[in-house]
């Protein structure tokens, strides 16, 4: 039996603060003793037969206490916990509330049925439920095993970060996640999650293997297009919205890849060394929010190791997930090469091995029989698997295929809206854009002018029926006679056509040949530039006495220094999905004003960023990447986080706080006035950052919140944005979360390097 030194662990969740708990769990018996030290805010649970303990923050202590069943397979056991506040916490009520939020149907009935099933299942059947059934998709989906005798159907999984996997047939293909992040519009992302879920169900899927919510540490990562950016605040907003949208349609979302996954070429072997502060503050918050706020149903581990242990058998990561955050769903491995050791994986908390049994199945059954794995570990996994199946009614209401719900007019329109809003106007010299709707003699050049360019050909690949190219989009508006497509710009005839053009639109960028998933697609990028032949093309076009609009495809940051100054206008189109050609035309011709803002900081040169090592099998992820790294080094970004032009002019004129003093329990409302001094309606992005704190080195500024609002011409509108004071003040130490009272500065503006407004905030500690 052990007692821990007093040091409160504080989190941003819940009304209680200043409480510390430890939990001891014995697999044979559970015997708890509560010891309350009222004056110093500590709760210690002691008295386990194996003398083990888990240290958790106060708000997580409720989770740990109320979800003991997932360790012990005694679902109804719970213990009381007290604290020094006036509220009395009821762990059993908390457990019920979390189950009700997680389960779309009656959670009490589900848990009771699980109890019955656990009595009926044999060990062989339990381990059978914990494996996939085939290395290749069957009827378009991957499945985990069921138990026919008990009418348990298993779980059918399908990929789909930008649309339901091509394995199932055609689907609505949306812009990639990085493009959608450029909208800075989580409500739009929620709608996209719903649409993809509807098509997932229509193709027979129970689980959508999305969203990808990995921090973009470096833009050369091959799968950067699948995630939402470099900052955990933005990843949190979009990840939560997507999961909520998916699960609102009765489909389980599976967030991936947990955790610290952002290299392709060595992804199966690389060990990421990361200190706990960096892990907790940057690489895990978005996963935590999806669990707590969106009631995530499923999570996929990543291939890589973290601090010496592969993620599918990483007891630290899986304990944080289940014991601290109270995750109620199931954890599956990444496919084929994602599992390694039977005993380590089972004891760490991997629930399902996909897509076939290598270390589970008979191997796991044998490990239990030999005593290497306690059967309670298997029971805990099976309870999670059954909970998912029954909460989502896979046994009573199996998905019915319905092709009429795929590629509907509404979903195609949503894809077009998302693509249009994702476009980022990076340059617009002399107001070249928008082009007039009757513009004649438009010449299109470049490798992607009339070629569908939808993104990676790896597991995220989705196939539309009728993808729209930029040429097709412009022809639909301007007419075929006014748009000339040149596939070869070096002939004498082509040179004459270029010289006679009113405007040249060069469609360049990256494709699936340049970036994508490792081993099964292109892998990591060799550098951050456009391919050399495209740079040569743009330099040649600059010699023409004709305005040049550059439209770029790609999944993340592209450096532009060799040609940017000679271009008249530049638009980042990302991989814009099936309706991308229409969206490009909408923006170039002014049907829609540019809405997108950069979800990442783009450097002037790749050397401005930390090195990207996709060769070594041991790498270190420190605290500094993206805009945080640039700020620390005093280096100016070419395009800062949140940068983007529009077809009007905006002024950020005033900032007010609801209070200039606050405790860490409180939320501050930040009001920011934005004036449209131009002549057309535009939508403004407002970002709020914080600076301050001396206890540990912090970023020069940290993004804390953001919002968007329409601003009509000549008017001033106010964005009202809530900011958690605890998020501003807290940081991770060896003893857990700490909060630093003191003076902080809140800054607001259009993007990370245009924070023209600021207010001071005095933060005091939480009242005891």
**What residues are labeled active site?**
334
Give CA–CA dist 352/368, Å, rounded: 16
Q: How many residues does the chain have?
A: 768
Give CA–CA dist 160/459, Å, rounded: 8
Give CA–CA dist 467/507, Å, rounded: 16
Asked whether the beta carbons of 301 and 258 are under 8 A apart, the reply is: yes
Measure the N-to-C terminal CA separation of the chain; round to a whole number of Å.
Answer: 28
Place of tokens 């099933």: 117
Output DSSP code: residue 313: G
What is 508-519 written as a DSSP string?
EE--TTTS--TT
Closest CA to 506 of 552, 545, 473, 543: 552
DSSP strand pairing (548-553 vs 503-509): parallel
Place of tokens 């000679």: 566
Percent helix, strand, coil in the chain, to 5, is 30, 20, 45
| 435: three-class secondary structure by DSSP | coil
Instruction: Give CA angle at 423 (560, 242), nearest 5°.
Output: 120
Q: Note the maximum CA span of the chain.
A: 88
Give CA–CA dist 677/711, Å, rounded: 10
Task: Output the six-digit token pair for 184.
Answer: 């800075």
Sheet with 661-663: strands ordered across: 661-663, 757-764, 742-749, 682-692, 702-711
Give CA–CA dist 712/675, Å, rounded: 9
Its sign, for the CA torsion 245, 246, 248, 249, is: positive
Residue 86 makes CB contacts below 8 A (sequence gap 6+) with none
Give the start-end residues of each E strand in 538-577: 548-553, 569-572
| 253: three-class secondary structure by DSSP | strand
Task: Output the six-digit token pair for 106.
Answer: 């009656």
The separation between CA 191 and the C-alpha centre of its own chain, rounded to angstroms, equals 15
Q: Helices 470-478 & 580-588, crossing angle to 10 degrees?
A: 50
């Amino acid at each position: 039996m052990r007692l821990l030194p007093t040091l409160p662990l504080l989190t941003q969740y819940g009304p209680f603060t200043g409480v510390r708990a430890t939990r001891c769990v014995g697999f044979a018996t559970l015997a708890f003793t509560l010891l309350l030290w009222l004056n110093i805010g500590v709760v210690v649970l002691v008295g386990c037969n194996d003398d083990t303990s888990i240290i958790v923050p106060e708000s997580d202590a409720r989770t740990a206490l109320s979800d003991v069943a997932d360790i012990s397979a005694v679902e109804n056991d719970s213990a009381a916990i007290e604290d020094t506040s006036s509220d009395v916490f009821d762990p059993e009520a908390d457990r019920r509330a979390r189950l009700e939020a997680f389960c779309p149907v009656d959670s009490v009935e589900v848990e009771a049925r699980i109890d019955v099933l656990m009595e009926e299942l044999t060990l062989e059947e339990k381990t059978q439920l914990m494996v996939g059934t085939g290395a290749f998709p069957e009827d378009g989906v991957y499945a985990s095993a069921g138990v026919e005798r008990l009418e348990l159907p298993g779980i059918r999984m399908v990929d789909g970060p930008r649309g339901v996997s091509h394995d199932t047939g055609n689907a609505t293909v949306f812009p990639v996640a990085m493009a959608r992040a450029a909208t800075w519009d989580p409500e739009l992302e929620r709608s996209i999650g719903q649409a993809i879920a509807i098509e997932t169900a229509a193709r027979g899927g129970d689980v959508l293997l999305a969203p990808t919510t990995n921090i973009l540490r470096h833009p050369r990562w091959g799968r950067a297009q699948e995630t939402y950016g470099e900052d955990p605040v933005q990843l949190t907003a979009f990840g939560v919205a997507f999961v909520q949208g998916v699960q609102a349609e009765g489909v389980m979302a599976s967030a991936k890849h947990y955790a610290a996954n952002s290299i392709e070429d060595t992804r199966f072997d690389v060990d990421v060394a990361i200190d706990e502060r960096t892990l907790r503050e940057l690489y895990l918050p978005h996963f935590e929010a999806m669990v707590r706020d969106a009631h995530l149903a499923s999570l996929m581990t990543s291939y890589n190791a973290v601090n010496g242990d592969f993620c599918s058998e990483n007891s630290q990561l899986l304990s944080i997930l289940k014991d601290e955050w109270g995750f109620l769903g199931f954890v599956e491995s990444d496919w084929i090469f994602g599992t390694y050791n039977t005993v380590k994986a089972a004891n760490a908390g991997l629930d399902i091995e996909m897509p076939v049994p290598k270390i589970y199945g008979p191997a796991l059954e044998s490990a239990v029989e030999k005593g290497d794995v306690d059967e309670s570990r298997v029971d805990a996994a099976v309870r999670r698997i059954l909970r998912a199946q029954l909460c989502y009614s896979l046994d009573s209401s199996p998905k019915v295929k319905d092709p009429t719900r795929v590629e509907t007019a509404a979903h195609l329109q949503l894809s077009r809206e998302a693509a249009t809003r994702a476009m980022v106007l990076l340059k617009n010299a002399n107001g070249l854009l928008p082009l007039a709707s009757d513009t004649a003699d438009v010449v299109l050049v470049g490798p992607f002018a009339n070629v569908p360019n939808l993104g990676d050909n790896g597991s995220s690949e989705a196939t539309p029926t009728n993808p729209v190219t930029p040429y097709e989009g412009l022809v639909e508006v301007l007419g075929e006679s006014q748009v000339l497509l040149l596939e070869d710009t070096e002939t004498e005839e082509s040179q004459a056509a270029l010289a006679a053009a009113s405007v040249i639109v060069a469609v360049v960028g990256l494709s699936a040949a340049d970036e994508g998933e490792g081993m099964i697609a292109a892998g990591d990028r060799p550098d951050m530039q456009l391919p050399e032949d495209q740079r040569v093309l743009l330099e040649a076009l600059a010699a023409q006495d004709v305005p040049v609009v550059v439209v770029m495809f790609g999944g993340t940051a592209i450096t532009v220094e060799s040609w940017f100054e000679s271009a008249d206008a530049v638009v980042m189109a990302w991989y814009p999905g099936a309706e991308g050609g229409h969206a490009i035309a909408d923006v170039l011709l002014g049907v829609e004003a540019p809405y997108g803002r950069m979800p990442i900081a783009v450097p002037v040169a790749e050397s401005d960023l930390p090195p990207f090592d996709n060769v070594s099998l041991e790498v270190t992820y420190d605290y500094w990447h993206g805009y945080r790294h640039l700020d620390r080094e005093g280096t100016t970004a070419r395009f800062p986080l949140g940068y983007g032009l529009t077809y009007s002019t905006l002024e950020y004129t005033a900032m007010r706080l609801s209070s200039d003093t606050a405790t860490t329990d409180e939320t501050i409302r930040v009001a920011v006035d934005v004036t449209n001094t131009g002549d057309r309606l535009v939508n403004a992005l407002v970002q709020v950052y914080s600076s301050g704190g001396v206890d540990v080195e912090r970023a020069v500024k940290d993004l804390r919140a953001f919002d968007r609002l329409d601003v009509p011409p000549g008017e001033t509108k106010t964005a009202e944005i809530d900011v958690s004071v605890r998020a501003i003040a807290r940081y991770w130490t060896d003893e857990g979360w700490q909060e630093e009272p003191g003076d902080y500065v809140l800054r607001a503006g259009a993007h990370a390097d245009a924070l023209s407004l600021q207010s001071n905030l005095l933060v005091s500690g939480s009242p005891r």
